Structure 1
Amino acid sequence: MEKPLILLTILLPLLHETTAIQLLMNNASYDNRINAKLSDNAILRCEVINNTANEDLMWYRGTQQVDIKSENSVNISNVCITEITAEDNGVSFTCLLKRNTTTKLSVQLNVLFSPKLSGDATINVEESKTVQITCGFKANPAAAMFWRQNNSVFTLPSRYKQDMTSDILQLTIEKAAKSDANNYTCVALTSDGKETTRVFQLIVEDRKPGLPIEAIAAAVVVGALIIAFGLFARREKIFKCKKNRETAM
């Protein structure tokens, strides 16, 4: 019975040390989110608590390790995020205990910004062809997205189709007609009633005349006849050449 007691005496302090060590992220002991605005700077502070010796820390931005100096990695470590952009929205920063990476805390950036719209402002389409008007958008919080025609909300005709993904609002017009030539406004409406807009001008051009089927068929026939006559004209020369060779032999 002495050996098990000796092992417990050795292991219990080690187990206690491992389970007692914790991390604090910006004074929180749990995964959390922080709000930020565009162009803001943010400082993330990770701290080891309940440790009995110096502990090294590591940082990750998403799946990419963050390069920090050695003097900024022992017991307390800070990461500064400068000039926050819309692309930083939703990105997680994770602080880990180097010798035991299961001890970790994460913070997710919640970057708040007004809607931003993008896309080619002028679209040309040939009459009777299909055309797509694409409005790219980003917003946090999310905005309601819809179209206006000549600055008025309109009911989509049967030839019109609207599709939306997480960052694109697209209007497809089949068999474009001259009457479809208008200004189409992409509208992002926020929960507080503010609008952000982008105007797209659709220009419907005259249909380019194509070659009639009869003309194409006639050209094919003429080409075939020219080839046939050419072969026939060479026929006598070929036979004559062959005959001369036979005579020479």
Structure 2
Amino acid sequence: MRYLLALTVFSLVICHVAALELLLNGYASHNRFDLKVNQSKTIICNVVNNSNAESLIWYRGTQQVNIKPENSVNSSTICLPEVAPEDDGVSFTCLLKRNTTIKWSALLNVTFEPILSGDTQIVAEEGKNVQITCGFKANPAVTMSWRQNGSVVTFPSRFDQHMTRNTWTLTITKVQMEDTANYTCVAVPPSGKEYTLTFEVIVGERKPGLPVEAIGAAVVVGALIIAFGLFARRQRIFKKCMKSRDTTAM
């Protein structure tokens, strides 16, 4: 009895050890590769404990990667010659084609200096709302702030600062002439080095508009002119019709 039990356990251990699996860069686990921008990386996926040729497929995020047939059997390689900021947070997943539940993923953690963007010249009319949007990308995370004419200032309540995942926005409600200035978007990574982008805001005088009463009066006058014109034309048409009837009766 003990012999049979020991044999069963031994068989289960052998089966477990011999189970087909994948190795991603030598590890049977998910990976995270810490890279710097422009650095290269090679990801190798191998099938182990297989008795037959096994096909492999790759995904970049949710999109399947096209690989050559000779690079898909039992061992497959993805080469990244120069990683870019757009590759940060992207995962590469190797899957067994006939059983896609057998898979491992590699997450790219690409570090790069802050990249700032936006429309740097804004012309606004006095009394209107102005929004200055500074787009930013960075890894690691940065601290964001605004400066006015190169100086750190305490903005009045009309100024609102708001941050999303990749935008830093300064909104000015009912902009005034004295708000004309250079507004600098400042990004500071953990290294302490500042990265800036300056936006020029030019506020012009409010354009005079027509009073509501004047517009209303113009509409009424226009409607009366059209009405009188139609009435006069109706009278002429009526007279012509009457003359035509008299001629026919004779």
TM interval, shorter chain, is 0.7 to 0.9
Moved more, 145-154 or 210-219: 210-219
Aligned-pair distance for 1:19?
A: 6.8
- Paired residues of 1:25 and 1:105 also in contact (CA < 8 A): yes
Partner residue, 1:59: 58
- Report if aligned partners of 1:17, 1:51 keep a CA contact under 8 Å in 2: no
* 1:70–1:236 Cα change, 3 Å: closer
SS of the aligned residue for 1:148 comes to strand
The answer to whether the 8 A contact 2:18-2:49 is kept is no
Quote the Cα distance in structure 2 between the aligned partners of 1:211 and 1:171.
Answer: 32
* Counterpart in the other structure of 1:169: 168
Q: CA deviation at 1:192?
A: 2.4
| Structure 1 position 149 matched with structure 2 position 148 | yes
1:165 shift after superposition: 0.7
What is the CA deviation profile of residues 114-172 of structure 1, one whole-angstrom value per residue up to 9, with x for unaligned ones? 11000011111011111100000000111111111122222231111122110001111
Whole-angstrom CA distance in 1 between matches of 2:115 and 2:166: 10
Distance 1:113 1:79 in 2: 22
Structure 1 distance, partners of 2:46, 2:30, is 14
TM-score (norm 1): 0.87
Q: Which amino acid aligns with 1:113?
A: F
Counterpart CA distance in 1 for 2:54 and 2:239 is 101
* Match in the other structure for 1:89: 88
Whole-Å separation in 2 of the counterparts to 1:57 and 1:17: 22
Shift, 1:232, TM fit = 3.4
* Letter of the structure 2 residue corresponding to residue 88 of structure 1: D
Which residue pairs with 2:214 in the alignment? 215
CA shift at 1:23, angstroms? Answer: 1.2
Aligned partners of 2:181, 2:97: CA distance in 1, in Å?
61
Which string of whole-angstrom CA distances, capped at 9 and with x for unpartnered residues, describes residues 77-100 of structure 1? 111012211111111101111222
Contact kept? 1:17, 1:52, Cα under 8 Å: no
Moved more, 209-218 or 57-66: 209-218
Structure 2 match to 1:104: 103
Equivalent residue number for residue 136 of structure 2: 137
Letter in 2 for 1:150: N
Q: Which stretches in structure 1 are left out of the alignment for 5+ residues? A: 1-11
SS in 2 for 1:40: coil
Structure 2 equivalent of residue 239 of structure 1 = 238
The aligned amino acid for 2:151 is S
Identity of aligned residues (%): 57
Pair 165,19 (structure 1): closer, same or farther in 2 beyond 3 Å: farther
Question: Does the CA-based 8 Å contact 2:187-2:196 persist in structure 1?
Answer: yes
Aligned residues: 238
The answer to whether residue 188 in structure 2 is matched with residue 186 in structure 1 is no
2:226 aligned partner: 227
* Stretches (4+) displaced over 3 A: 15-19, 244-247
2:28 matched to which residue of 1?
29
1:156-208 deviation digits (Å, cap 9, x = unpaired): 31111122110001111111101111111111111221211111111001211
Question: Deviation string for 1:20-75 (max 9, x for gaps)?
Answer: 11211112211111011222221101111222333221111112111212222222
Please state whether the residue corresponding to 2:220 is helix, strand or coil. helix
Partner SS, residue 206 of structure 2: coil
Q: 1:233 to 1:99 in 2, by over 3 A?
A: closer
> Is the 1:112–1:140 Cα contact (8 Å) retained in structure 2?
yes
Partner of 1:120: 119
Residues 19 and 158 of structure 1: is their aligned pair in 2 closer, same or farther, counting only changes over 3 Å? farther
Contact 2:126-2:205 within 8 A present in 1 as well: yes
Q: In the alignment, what sits opposite 1:8?
A: none
- Where do 5+ consecutive residues of structure 2 fail to align? 1-10
